Copies of this chain bind each other. A is one copy, B any other.
Amino acid sequence: MADDDPLEDYEERVSPFVERFAADLTEAGMQRMASRVFACLLTSDDGALTSAELSERLQASPAAISGAVRYLSQVGMVSRQRDPGSRRERYQLHHDVWYTTLLNRDQVLNRWLVTLNAGAEAIGTDTPGGRRVRESAEFLEFMRKGLEDLLKRWQSRPP
């Protein structure tokens, strides 16, 4: 039998998932509150909630929500919208959050590649260490390109 009270329903069925998935994300390096906010948005009807709603569901202060959203906004996972004629803000998951997030991953890889290639140069590829650094760059470039292709393939996948 389904539960009719939305908040109670959240606590019983949704919250366990939110907290567990947030833990997964945190373990992988994301800030704790940002992980919780992201996971919570993921489970919402429109992929969007107000600060007050997040605050209630996550039992966290508005300040904490604000900080988390600022971070998620900076890394392009969430956009802030204003219901016209309201002073409430809605924090909306980017439509293709996962897709765009992995695109960002690609950029991170690119920074690594710059560092590695410059490093190989500085150390000198006439040394074993320099060569290992160069080979690392080659492997990561292979993966970066592959990731890029994968993302393209996802975009043009049959519906």
Q: Which residue numbers of A lie inside 8 Å of B, CB to CB?
A: 13-14, 16-17, 20-21, 24, 28-29, 42-47, 98-99, 102, 108, 111-112, 115-116, 118-119, 122-124, 127-130, 132-133, 136, 139-140, 142-143, 146-147, 150, 153-154, 157
Contacts and interface: CB of A to CB of B under 8 A. Distances in A.
Dominant secondary structure at the A interface: helix
B45 A115 contact: no
14 contacts: A13-B122, A13-B123, A14-B122, A14-B129, A21-B112, A42-B133, A42-B136, A46-B128, A99-B139, A102-B143, A142-B150, A146-B146, A146-B147, A146-B153
A20 B143 contact: no
A156 B16 CA distance: 42
Given A14-B123, A45-B129, 15 more contacts: A13-B123, A17-B122, A20-B115, A20-B119, A21-B112, A21-B115, A24-B112, A29-B29, A42-B136, A43-B129, A44-B129, A98-B139, A142-B150, A146-B146, A147-B150
Contacts of A98: 136, 139-140
Please name the 4 residue pairs, one residue from A and one from B, whose CB atoms are nearest each other, closest first.
A29-B29, A17-B119, A43-B129, A146-B150
